[in-house]
């Protein structure tokens, strides 16, 4: 192939002759500088033109490469109907493999050439698979500072290890059209589920004053038909469907941005989303805009106890904006019909059309209508959490919305500059850094006590009443000392209300009686950062007042929060 950029580099440029009485071989410094500037300008324009041509050829080779690999993957043996081996292929099929390898080498060579004309920035070689998203490494609450959507961070190709995360599944090109049609159907179902009431939704008193809107499965089946056959899960399973509505202290654009980025989604729901990954971006939507984007995702959902198994699911997430009504729809729906052979981890879990509708309000807040609908294997849960799980509280809409409201309050406090803090906090930057540190502490706490797939818990006895679980893990995270961490978790019922227990644990004078780290010494709050509407939603820096003056000063960092929306009166 002719390298136009190289041939152009050897091309001479015409000279501009002088006029008038000036000698042709002589010129003024101004003319020389002007001519040099024009030469550089023309060279830069030509380089850009060559770069565009190389990129176009690169894209053509990428499409041809992907088409050939798709054809090879679809080759079947005429005798048994299974995948054909190279020795069983015809001459034409073998030729496709060789041509594919040649195109891949040519593609990499062109990428290197194009890199020379992009200010030294290497161009990613586009692999044969559809584009994937790189995970963000931002673990702090400043995840909301950038308004662009995750689709802008796409690259071509991915590492093999990344493809294996969550099953390593990708959708074929021919399935994308069907996926988009199902996405629009799922969005329509979600809008209808948010607008209809009885008999589809029934108010159910769960316990005490808590009332939830629960989905009537039979009525749902009469009104909502899914275009693709849903694969029946063997064994007993139950359907969970709940709905809730609330106001959050965040605008719709920021919320949509968080939902379309798996890492920001985990940051927004640290106590319920233990893992999340965008496996494939099927549609990027409008440029710089989330409308119309469609992502293939994997997630692992948790309850903060090793006694409750996590739920793992692959699903498609679709974003749609209704400009006339001023709403955004974020809907998740199952991948049945695309990957029938997918083996789900126990307990098996399928995410039916679920998600939220977000509508901006004049005061900068947003109204969120949330629907959770799923099929889950009906396996026994420890008696302590049995009602909490089977009633739909553990993974239901109210819990999702409650956590969202709390995190939005926290984010608003992080961005605020007019909140009077108490204690030794010297500046707004110090306040923000302490809140970020506390958030990392909460994330670590959530990860340590869950039953996520990478945690192996051991019971201390075989008794069914025993709730103590222990586990060990190696600490290798940056900023933490290397070593082995032992975690022990116990769950019990107390003859007090949750408000009484919460007040006991957050009272600095009484907590010293409970905290083993205080060793019986009193605690004194030296810094207090309010980060929510409730008086106990705060970050506190506590000093241990030791009776021995020779001991060094010890400090404890504590974050406490309560979700008022968890309790719904009838």
CB 494 within 8 A of CB 549: no
CA distance 18 to 545: 88
**At residue 232, what are phi and psi to the nearest 5 degrees?**
-75, 130
**Dihedral in degrees, nearest 10, Cα atoms 260, 263, 265, 268:** -140
**0.85 surpassed by pTM:** no
CA distance 375 to 347: 10
CA distance 119 to 1: 23
Other beta carbons within 10 angstroms of residue 116's beta carbon come to 16
The residue written with tokens 């090793």 in the block is 306
CB 335 within 8 A of CB 314: yes
Instruction: State CA 12 to chain mean position distance.
Output: 53
CB 255 within 8 A of CB 358: yes
CATH 3.30.530.20: does it fit domain 173-226+235-415? Answer: yes
248: exposed, middle or buried (C-beta count within 10 Å: 0-12, 13-18, 19+)? Answer: buried
Residue 316 is given by DSSP the state E
260: exposed, middle or buried (C-beta count within 10 Å: 0-12, 13-18, 19+)? Answer: buried
Query: Is the pLDDT confidence value at 133 over 50?
Result: no
**Dihedral in degrees, nearest 10, Cα atoms 405, 410, 411, 415:** 140
pLDDT for the residue numbered 25? 47
Q: Which residue has the higher pLDDT, 333 or 70?
A: 333
Residue 220 Cα distances to 264, 335, 394, angstroms? 32, 20, 22
Q: At a CB cut-off of 8 Å and minimum separation 6, what does 464 contact?
A: 383
Residue 521 Cα distances to 515, 517, 554, 555, 556, angstroms? 10, 9, 11, 12, 13
Work out the pLDDT band at 462, boundaries 50, 70, 90: confident
Q: What is the mean pLDDT of the chain?
A: 75
CA-wise closest residue to 414 among 253, 252, 254: 254
Highest mean pLDDT among 278-292, 353-367, 485-499: 353-367
DSSP 138-194: --SGGGGG--S-GGGGEES---HHHHTGGG-----GGGHHHHHHHHHHHHHHHHHHH
Q: Which residue has the higher pLDDT, 108 or 266?
A: 266
Joined tokens for residue 264: 């920001």
5-61 pLDDT tens trace: 333 333 333 333 333 444 444 556 566 666 776 777 777 777 777 777 777 777 677
CB 244 within 8 A of CB 397: yes
Q: Which residue has the higher pLDDT, 341 or 391?
A: 391
pLDDT for the residue numbered 452? 73
CA distance 512 to 544: 9
pLDDT for the residue numbered 7? 34
Q: Any idea which of 22-31, 113-122, 475-484 has the lowest mean pLDDT?
A: 113-122
Q: At a CB cut-off of 8 Å and minimum separation 6, what does 51 contact?
A: 5, 114, 117, 118
Domain edges within the chain:
173-226+235-415
Q: What length does the chain have?
A: 570
Query: Is the pLDDT confidence value at 259 over 70?
Result: yes
pLDDT for the residue numbered 237? 83
pLDDT for the residue numbered 157? 35
Partnered with residue 542 across adjacent β-strands are 525, 556
**Dihedral in degrees, nearest 10, Cα atoms 526, 446, 406, 523:** -20
Query: Is the pLDDT confidence value at 247 over 70?
Result: yes
Residue 328 is given by DSSP the state E
Overall average pLDDT of the 301-305 stretch: 92
Overall average pLDDT of the 425-451 stretch: 87
Q: Which residue has the higher pLDDT, 312 or 509?
A: 312
CA distance 8 to 276: 48
41-56 pLDDT tens trace: 777 777 777 777 777 7
């Amino acid at each position: 192939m002719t390298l136009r950029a190289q041939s152009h580099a050897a091309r001479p440029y015409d000279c501009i002759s002088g006029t008038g009485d000036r000698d042709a071989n002589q010129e003024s410094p101004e003319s020389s500088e002007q001519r040099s500037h024009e030469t550089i300008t023309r060279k830069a324009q030509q380089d850009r033109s060559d770069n565009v041509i190389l990129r176009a050829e690169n894209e053509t080779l990428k499409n041809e490469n992907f088409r050939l690999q798709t054809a090879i993957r679809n080759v079947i043996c005429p005798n048994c109907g299974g995948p054909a081996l190279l020795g069983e292929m015809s001459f034409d099929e073998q030729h496709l493999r060789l041509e594919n390898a040649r195109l891949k080498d040519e593609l990499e060579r062109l990428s290197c050439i194009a890199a020379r004309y992009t200010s030294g920035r290497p161009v990613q070689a586009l692999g044969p698979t559809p584009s994937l998203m790189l995970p963000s490494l931002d673990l702090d609450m400043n995840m909301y500072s950038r308004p662009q959507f995750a689709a802008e961070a796409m690259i071509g190709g991915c590492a093999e290890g990344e493809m294996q995360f969550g099953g390593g599944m990708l959708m074929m090109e021919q399935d994308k059209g069907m996926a988009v049609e199902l996405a629009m159907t799922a969005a329509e179902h979600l809008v209808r589920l948010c607008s209809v009431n009885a008999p589809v939704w029934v108010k159910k008193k769960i316990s005490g004053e808590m009332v939830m809107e629960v989905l009537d499965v039979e009525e749902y089946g009469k009104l909502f038909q899914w275009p693709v056959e849903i694969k029946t899960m063997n064994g007993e399973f139950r359907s969970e469907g709940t709905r809730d509505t609330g106001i959050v202290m965040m605008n719709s654009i920021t919320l949509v941005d968080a939902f379309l980025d798996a890492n920001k989604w985990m940051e927004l729901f640290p106590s319920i989303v233990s893992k999340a990954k965008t496996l494939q971006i099927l549609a990027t939507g409008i440029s710089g805009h989330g409308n119309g984007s469609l992502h293939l995702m994997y997630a692992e959902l948790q309850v903060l106890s090793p006694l409750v198994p996590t739920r793992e699911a692959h699903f498609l997430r679709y974003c749609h904006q209704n400009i006339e009504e001023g709403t955004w729809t974020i809907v998740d729906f199952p991948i049945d019909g695309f990957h029938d052979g997918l083996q789900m981890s126990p307990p098996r879990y399928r995410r039916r059309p679920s998600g939220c509708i977000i509508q901006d309000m004049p005061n900068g807040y947003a109204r969120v209508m949330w629907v959770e609908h799923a099929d889950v294997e009906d396996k026994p849960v420890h008696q302590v959490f049995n009602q909490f799980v089977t009633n739909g509280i553990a993974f239901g809409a109210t819990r999702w919305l409650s956590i969202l409201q709390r995190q939005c309050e926290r984010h608003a406090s992080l961005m605020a500059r007019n909140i009077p803090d108490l204690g030794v906090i010297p500046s707004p930057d110090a306040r923000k850094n302490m809140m970020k540190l506390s958030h990392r502490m909460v994330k670590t706490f959530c990860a340590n006590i869950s039953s996520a797939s990478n945690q192996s818990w051991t019971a201390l006895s075989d008794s069914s009443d025993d709730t103590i679980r222990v586990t060990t893990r190696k600490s290798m995270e940056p900023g933490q000392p290397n070593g082995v961490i032992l975690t022990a978790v116990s769950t019990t019922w107390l003859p007090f209300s949750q408000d009484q227990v919460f007040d006991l644990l957050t009272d600095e004078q009484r907590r010293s009686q409970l905290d083993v780290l205080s060793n019986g010494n009193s605690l004194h709050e030296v810094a207090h950062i309010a980060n929510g509407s409730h008086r106990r939603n705060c970050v506190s820096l506590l000093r241990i007042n030791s009776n021995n003056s020779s001991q060094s000063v010890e400090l404890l960092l504590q974050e406490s929060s309560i979700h008022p929306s968890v309790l719904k009166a009838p």
